[in-house]
Amino acid sequence: MQKISLVLFDMHDVLCRYDRAARLADLERISGKPADDIYAAIWKSGFEDAADAGKLDEAAYLQGFGDRLGYPITRDEWLENRRLATIPMPEVLDLLAQVQAKTPVAVLTNNHILVRDHLDLLFPELFALCGNRSYVSAQFGAAKPDPAVYHACVALAGGTAAGTLFIDDSEKNISGARQAGLAVHLFTDAPSLAATLAHYGLI
């Protein structure tokens, strides 16, 4: 059996549920712009994809976000809005903690650097477990499913591609990780993840 020396978790819809509807409702409230228009301007325009790939620093990101929103959103307002979307999944966080007792763990999420810099506020339950071993794609200049981001993240976390198990809910991201040489698990629910972790002797 393949020896796993690092377990790499996705964040959204694995360790927490991402509630975009809550974000959009709040953004509609503070800007007066319809939620559908906000979604199109920010999430369907490629703006967030560019931020996830590290193409925008904090100032450019907040300026661009505000321009598309039609409201000059501050960093504190953005953080509070972003926090609304993060709903912890305790059963998976518990599995992460169990793995961490035996094997190094890390997190890789497609996100802007603001998420990493303020994870203690946005997702304190995860920060308490992983702290600085929670990585965002923007810090590597590429986003999942680009194989380069997996290699860069695994190296920074002190692992190897062949010795890493990657967990994500996206088939596209799983495919990218497999191309990068990682062992993979397509997340659907906590019981099936627990079975995979047990298979590798990680819990």
pLDDT score, position 151: 98
Q: Are residues 73 and 147 in the same domain?
A: no
- Determine, yes or no, domain membership for 1: no
Q: Are residues 26 and 104 in the same domain?
A: no
- Determine, yes or no, domain membership for 170: yes
Q: Are residues 101 and 184 in the same domain?
A: yes
Q: Are residues 124 and 56 in the same domain?
A: no
Q: Are residues 80 and 123 in the same domain?
A: no
Q: Are residues 40 and 73 in the same domain?
A: yes
The domain boundary residue, chosen from 35, 55, 84: 84
Q: Are residues 13 and 34 in the same domain?
A: no
- Determine, yes or no, domain membership for 26: yes
The domain boundary residue, chosen from 50, 84, 118: 84
Which range of residues forms the domain containing residue 169?
Answer: 6-17+87-199
The domain boundary residue, chosen from 66, 84, 102: 84
Q: Are residues 167 and 119 in the same domain?
A: yes
pTM of the model: 0.95
pLDDT score, position 111: 97
- pLDDT tens per residue, range 167-181: 999 999 999 999 999
pLDDT score, position 2: 81
pLDDT score, position 149: 98
Q: Which long-range contacts (CB under 8 A, 24 or more apart) does 167-172 make?
A: 167/7, 167/8, 167/9, 167/10, 167/14, 167/193, 168/10, 168/14, 168/144, 169/10, 169/12, 169/13, 169/14, 170/10, 170/144, 170/145, 172/144, 172/145
Q: Are residues 31 and 123 in the same domain?
A: no
Contact 4, 183 (CB under 8 A): yes
For residue 161, what is the DSSP state? S
The full DSSP string for 35-72 is HHHHIIIIISSSHHHHHHTT-S-HHHHHHHHHHHHTS-
Q: How many domains would you assign to the chain?
A: 2
Q: Are residues 31 and 105 in the same domain?
A: no
- pLDDT tens per residue, range 82-100: 999 999 999 999 999 999 9
Contact 174, 168 (CB under 8 A): yes
Q: Are residues 71 and 95 in the same domain?
A: no
Average pLDDT, consecutive stretches of 10 residues, N- to C-terminus, the chain (203 residues): 93 98 98 98 97 97 98 97 97 98 97 96 97 96 97 97 98 98 98 98 97
Q: What is the CATH number of the domain that holds 27?
A: 1.10.150
Q: What is the CATH number of the domain that holds 144?
A: 3.40.50.1000
Q: Are residues 150 and 175 in the same domain?
A: yes
Which tokens go with 99?
Answer: 């793995």
- Determine, yes or no, domain membership for 175: yes
